[in-house]
Amino acid sequence: MAEFFKTLLKGVIYVVLLPFILLVWVLSAIYCVFIFLYSAIKNMIIFFAGGNPMGDLPEDVKAKKILTERLIQPQPSFIPTAAAPTPAVSVEGSPAPTAESLRPTFVTETSDEVLNRQEEQDQGGDDDGNFTQTY
pLDDT band at residue 70 using 50, 70 and 90 as cut-offs: confident
What is the rounded average pLDDT of the residues 16-45?
A: 96
For residue 89, the SS3 value is coil
Asked if residues 111 and 74 have their Cβ atoms less than 8 Å apart, the reply is yes
Count the domains in the chain.
2
Residues 73 and 107 grouped into a single domain: yes
135 is a domain residue: no
pLDDT band at residue 122 using 50, 70 and 90 as cut-offs: low
Partners of 75 in the β-ladder: 109
Please say if the pLDDT value at position 38 is more than 90: yes
| More confident of the two residues 39 and 120 | 39
Domain boundaries, position 29: 1-55
| More confident of the two residues 72 and 100 | 72
- Give this prediction's pTM: 0.40
Residues 19 and 72 grouped into a single domain: no
45 is a domain residue: yes
* Rounded CA separation 3/125 (Å): 93
Query: What does the pLDDT read at residue 107?
Result: 59
Residues 17 and 33 grouped into a single domain: yes
